[in-house]
Amino acid sequence: MGLWDHVIAGMLAVFQSDPVLGVPITLLMVLGGFLLGIAVGATPGLAGPMAMAISLPILISIFGYSSDALLPVLGFLIGIMKGATVGGAVPAILFNTPGTPDAFMTTLDGYPMAQRGEARQALRVAHFSSAAGDTFSDVVLILCAPFLAIMVESYLDLPEKAALLILSLAFIATVIGKSVGKGIISMGLGLFAAMIATGEDFYPRLTLDQPALAEGIPVAAAILGVLILGEVFKALEDIHRGAQGPRAVPRSDETHHEKRRLGLRRLLPYIGRSAVIGTCIGALPGVGSTLAATLGYTSAKRHYDRKKASGDREFGEGAPEGVAATEAANSSVSGANLIPVLSLGIPGNAAAVFLILAMDSIGGFNPGPSVFQLGGGIGDDAMNPEMVLAFGLFTTMFVANALNWTIGGVFMRWVGVMARVPKARLLPIVLLLTLTAIYVQETSMIAVWITLFFGFLGYIMRRIDMSPLPFVIAFILGGNLEATARRAFAATGADPFFLFNSPIALTFIVMAVGVVAWGIRKPAS
């Protein structure tokens, strides 16, 4: 079977899935996830990964663990990821309240526009820029992920793959957060948690003779605890300390704005430049949309300062170009972040973590270089089911983009009221839903207690300004790293220096050491 056979089969898997009310279930799931994502993104205190975390166990309990459930579940999660990206501009523009760090750059020009009565224009610019950047990023994903996977499978053997995982973890621990030391500690804790009760021994290890840990730490419990409950606990404490809610935008007459439309031609250079920046940043594991938004904004400001006319607004005073540059940059990260996920099996951000968690929980799709092998390693004429699922996933992403272009802007303006919901009411609901979702999936109170334990660990990490993302990614990759290292050790005749005998593996190890050394030497931000 050729490449186009897999492409067509992946598209048919989406458009010919079991119908509900005459509509394929996968398309309905993408639509539901997309609308939920916009509402969540427009609500301060919530975020796309939070909604994905709560939804995943519930979706699995509904659809089960068969391979037929994978595309509907992933379609819903993809919809949330894309909807939350475009919805995050709503509170930033209307209430000067960035729901995520990257949305802070949107407030710099979006909120001043809203103060002038141009909130509708700012939302339109944000929507168009976000949809354009996201679409560009998805096109790059489809072109680059198969090529990178084929190159990795052709040139990297087991020692090189183990070294590549070490390099990825070192890179993630270094670039995420303000302190390299804290990033490495977070990564080390994640690897330690992943080692509990695993390995090839006849008895569980590191369990302290606790039967509850004999089968290892539930993946969903650790990830949801550290990422979601930790954030909820910290946010509740901030509310208790008297943090202020979003400020309402004064009502102004927008009829003048409705007559004055900003020319699209003027925005396109800023959108294009930021989309390229965001895509390049997103393709690097662990480098998220915050850096992309910052670089996109600063690059656009330099270009704007050279081109602006005498009567134009400055950046930071309500320039639509600032909104366009920021939203295009942070939205183009989402598709590019899946390049290392699908080609290497390495998640780059929190949203990608839950996509991998869904793949691991349901089964039938193991992200990595083998995904894009024709024949799936079982013959040239055989269909590779994982490649079919990959192109089905690409199809759901373009369906979500089509929804964004058509109904995203309208729904985005409707859900502006969500920004008025007090966080003090939302966060306890999120806490209850997360614990309920864990119990639904694990059907054990032990899993709930483990989730609470990791929730307090995530809270402590945030209180000492330690990013929990290296912990989560190391926890996910820990088992794969150990298995790859064991196989490489055995394949090289039990050579303890297998990481240093291969020039490529040695290069990766030197790069890992160099990344950490560079991170330690760079000045603190």
Rounded CA-CA distance 342/365 in Å is 10
pLDDT at 512 over 60: yes
More confident of the two residues 125 and 1: 125
Helix (H, G, I), strand (E, B) or coil at 310: coil
Measuring CA to CA, how many Å separate 443 from each of 229, 286, 437?
19, 32, 10
Task: Kindly provide the residue ranges of all beta strands, DSSP E only, lying in 444-487, ordered along the sequence.
Answer: none
pLDDT at 38 over 50: yes
Question: Long-range CB contacts (< 8 A, 24+ apart) of 361-365?
Answer: 361/56, 361/60, 361/65, 361/219, 361/220, 361/441, 362/60, 362/65, 362/66, 362/67, 362/69, 362/70, 362/73, 363/65, 363/67, 364/67, 364/70, 364/389, 365/67, 365/70, 365/389, 365/390
Tokens read off for 164 = 């590549």
Residue 340 falls inside a structural domain: yes
Domain count, the chain: 1
Residue 514 falls inside a structural domain: yes
Helix (H, G, I), strand (E, B) or coil at 23: strand
Rounded CA-CA distance 523/182 in Å is 15
Report yes or no: 247 and 269 within 8 Å, Cβ to Cβ: no
Mean pLDDT of 108-113: 85
Residue 411 falls inside a structural domain: yes
Using CB atoms within 10 Å of the CB of residue 413, give its burial: 0 to 12 exposed, 13 to 18 middle, 19+ buried.
Answer: middle
Rounded CA-CA distance 106/294 in Å is 10
**pLDDT range class, residue 258, cuts 50, 70, 90:** very low
Least reliable range by pLDDT among 102-116, 119-133, 175-189, 257-271: 257-271
More confident of the two residues 379 and 195: 195
More confident of the two residues 122 and 211: 122
Please tell me the predicted confidence (pLDDT) of residue 510.
Answer: 93
- pLDDT tens digit string along 483-508? 888 888 888 888 888 888 889 889 98
pLDDT at 525 over 50: no
More confident of the two residues 222 and 379: 222
Tokens read off for 138 = 């998805």
Residue 53 falls inside a structural domain: yes
Could you tell me the residue range of the domain that residue 291 belongs to?
3-244+257-419+427-521
First vs last C-alpha separation in the chain:
52
Please tell me the predicted confidence (pLDDT) of residue 287.
Answer: 60
**pLDDT range class, residue 363, cuts 50, 70, 90:** confident
pLDDT at 215 over 80: no
Rounded CA-CA distance 458/381 in Å is 48
What's the predicted TM-score (pTM) here? 0.82
More confident of the two residues 176 and 401: 401
How many residues belong to the chain?
A: 525
Residue 252 falls inside a structural domain: no
Residue 250 falls inside a structural domain: no
> Which residues are within 8 A (CB) of 209 and not within 5 positions of it... i.e. 6 or more apart?
none
Please tell me the predicted confidence (pLDDT) of residue 243.
Answer: 52
Residue 20 falls inside a structural domain: yes
Residue 251 falls inside a structural domain: no
Q: What average pLDDT does the chain have?
A: 81
Q: Per-residue b/e over 366-380, b at no fewer than 16 CB within 10 Å? A: ebbbbbbbbebeeee
Tokens read off for 316 = 């930071």
In the block, residue with structure tokens 């590191």: 206
